[in-house]
Amino acid sequence: VTETVSVAQAAWEGLRLVAAWPNLLHVLGATVLAMVVAFLPGVSGVTLMTLAIPFTLSWDPVRTLLVFGPFVGGATFMGSVTAILFNIPGAAPSAATALDGFPMARQGRAKTALGCAALASALGSSFGVLVLILLVPVMRPATLAFGPPELAMLGLWGLVTIAAVVRGSIVKGLAAAGLGLLASFVGLDPRTGELRYTLGLPYLRDGLSVVVVLLGMFAIAEVIQLVVDDRGPASGGPRAERLTGSLREGAAAVFRHFGLFLRSSVLGTVIGAIPAVGGTVASFLAYGHAVQTARTGRDRFGHGDIRGVLAPEAAHDAKDGGSLIATLALGVPGSEGAALLLAVLTLHGLVPGRDLMTTQLPLVFVLIWSLFLSNWITSILGLSAASLLARLSVLRARRLAPLILGLAALGAFAHAGRIEDVVLAMACGVLGYYMRKHGWPTIPFVMALVLGRLFETNLHLAVRLHRLGRAEFWTRPIALALFVLSVITAALPFLRRKRPAPGTGAG
């Protein structure tokens, strides 16, 4: 394609290319492959992409993009399946889904949680893709609009929402958040390059890996709990014949809380469009937002509230559309997967930027539609297997504990190939277990860890740019809006206290 075509024509042409025989088979095959990989903790589509790159050199660009759509973000729902069933996040963003998804499985409502996650994931992804299509003409300014002041304020807003997710002792909750912030400071000081809290270990120079910490705090802590409690089913819930809940109930929850779904999807898309922020921040911010804005039953969060499954799933999958914005429009990848996508595009002579977004737009749409289809295929296939998967949650704990431990250790090792990561995951597992045992909430800890680095790095940059006269905070509307949002979020609990809550029971 050599001439500039309109967005609508390009979208149609892209759809026609995807639907042409046997192109749909490529999407299906790549999706199934991505689903299998996404099911394994710590291993992601990035691994598949690395493996696939040598093969794609002899392929035409259309076939390559058809396959890379599912790899770059098409099967993320599968990572949530293990999060819901066993408290093992298949990828870091799925950890937020586990916060309420796993308690639901323990209550025998795994199918409900899976149904909700599958539909929220597919619809969230569709939302992201829709926004991507609508924003094609303004992709570049949209991505460039987020500089250090905006990102610092986004981080601040995320940190403020932590107050909303604290359960039980407010002192313990805030102390856990403080510990999480401290943990986020481990490694190189972004401003000066000095080492902080590394104990002289080169391993700690890059800071604590969020993926590894989450595997420890969730999966390994769960294994310890299983072994200590010596309970029957791994989920701690009822036996198979007593499984309650249904896929329909879970799917219906997406429409019952459609406002939350939309807000979470918008949040995911916006965060996806910002390079180097990522799905983990999107998921946890959406979770915090869900708790913060819940009018009823806020105490149910963390104990099996379906809104705690819906919000992170929608945000996580909507993020993929957004992250393509930065990669395709500016050649700036928003994630490791997007970086590999960029490498493949370059190898095929496709240069991200103006040309790709104008003269080669149909190829961009091949990628978009492939991603879109892949998310729906994943949800449909995942849902088909949901009944079977839900029964896994009632297997005997003693049989599953070694398997979960092995998978978590493998996931930690596969993340970067370092044995130290396995040790860190184990240490975090022990920490997570004791925190739970003594009533210290783990959610504020992990949220502060995820958001702390984003906030600190960008705060330093924003202050430095301000001092050098390059970033006037008061003249940046997005930064100001996020600051105002943070103030409102912080003030909400005090405003709510003045009027009694109308009751509980949502979800």
Partner 1 sequence: VTRPPLRPEPPGREPQPAPARRRGARVSRRRVLGALGIAGGALLSGPGAWAQPSGGSGPCVPLAGKRVRWIVPHAVGGGHDADSRLIEPFLERRLGAEVVVENVPGAGGIVGATLLRDARPNGLTMGLVNGPGLLLAALTGDSAAPNPATDFAILGRIGRTQHVWATGSASPLRSVDLLLREAEKRAILVGSVDVGGTSFASVALIAPLLGIAVEFVAGFPSSRSAALAAMRGDVDVVSFSLDVLQPMLDSGDLTPLLQISARPLSSTRVLDGVPVLGGAAGLAIRRARSLKRDVAETGADTATVIALIGAGRLIVAPRGLDAGLFRCLAQELRGVLTDPGFEAAARASKRALDVADADGARAEIELAARRGEKFIPILRDTIRRMRR
CB 176 within 8 A of CB 440: yes
- The yes or no reply on residue 36 touching partner 1 (CB under 8 A) is no
17, amino acid identity: L
- Interaction pattern, residues 295-334, with partner 1; x per rule: CB under 8 A: -----------------------------------xxxx-
| Site size for partner 1 (CB under 8 A) | 57
- The yes or no reply on residue 351 touching partner 1 (CB under 8 A) is yes
- The yes or no reply on residue 206 touching partner 1 (CB under 8 A) is yes
- The yes or no reply on residue 190 touching partner 1 (CB under 8 A) is yes
- The yes or no reply on residue 242 touching partner 1 (CB under 8 A) is no
- What are the angstrom distances between the C-alpha of 24 and each of 69, 70, 273? 12, 12, 27
- The yes or no reply on residue 346 touching partner 1 (CB under 8 A) is yes
How far apart are CB 455 and partner 1 at their closest, in Å? 12
Stretch that binds partner 1, among 6-14, 210-218, 311-319, 468-476 (CB under 8 A): 468-476
- The yes or no reply on residue 43 touching partner 1 (CB under 8 A) is yes
- The yes or no reply on residue 466 touching partner 1 (CB under 8 A) is no
267-303 burial string, b = 16+ CB within 10 Å, else e?
bbbbbbbbbebbbbbbbbbbbbbbbbbbeebbebbbb
- The yes or no reply on residue 171 touching partner 1 (CB under 8 A) is no
| Closest to 326 in 3D by CA, of 363, 267, 278 | 278
Kindly tell me which of 96 and 471 has the beta carbon lying closer to partner 1. Answer: 471
CB 273 within 8 A of CB 324: no
- The yes or no reply on residue 470 touching partner 1 (CB under 8 A) is yes
Kindly tell me which of 265 and 360 has the beta carbon lying closer to partner 1. Answer: 360
- Judged by CB under 8 A, which of 2, 171, 199, 202 binds partner 1? 202
- What are the angstrom distances between the C-alpha of 503 and each of 297, 305, 494? 7, 15, 18
Kindly tell me which of 149 and 362 has the beta carbon lying closer to partner 1. Answer: 149
Give all strands (DSSP E) within 53-208, no chain letters.
Answer: 187-188, 195-196
- Interaction pattern, residues 393-432, with partner 1; x per rule: CB under 8 A: ---------------------x-xxx--------------
How far apart are CB 469 and partner 1 at their closest, in Å? 9
Q: Which residues pair with 353 in a beta bridge?
A: none
CB contact set of 378 (below 8 Å; sequence gap of 6+): 31, 34, 35, 70, 74, 75, 76, 77, 78, 121, 122
Alpha-carbon gap, residue 95 to 86, rounded angstroms = 11
Kindly tell me which of 246 and 358 has the beta carbon lying closer to partner 1. Answer: 358
For residue 396, is it left (φ>0), alpha (ψ between -120 and 50) or beta?
beta
CB contact set of 211 (below 8 Å; sequence gap of 6+): 42, 91, 92, 411, 412, 415
CB 107 within 8 A of CB 237: yes
Kindly tell me which of 63 and 418 has the beta carbon lying closer to partner 1. Answer: 418
Place of tokens 């979800």: 507
Kindly tell me which of 119 and 341 has the beta carbon lying closer to partner 1. Answer: 341
Q: Interface residues for partner 1 in 54-93 (CB under 8 A)? A: 54-55, 57-58
Give all strands (DSSP E) within 180-299, no chain letters.
Answer: 187-188, 195-196
CB contact set of 391 (below 8 Å; sequence gap of 6+): 240, 243
Kindly tell me which of 321 and 352 has the beta carbon lying closer to partner 1. Answer: 352
- The yes or no reply on residue 279 touching partner 1 (CB under 8 A) is no
How far apart are CB 86 and partner 1 at their closest, in Å? 21
How far apart are CB 154 and partner 1 at their closest, in Å? 13
Kindly tell me which of 13 and 336 has the beta carbon lying closer to partner 1. Answer: 336
Q: Which residues of the shown chain bind partner 1 in the complex (CB under 8 A)?
A: 43, 46-47, 49-51, 53-55, 57-58, 143-144, 147-148, 188, 190-194, 200, 202-203, 205-206, 275-276, 330-333, 336, 339-340, 342-343, 346-347, 351-356, 414, 416-418, 457, 460-461, 464-465, 468, 470-471
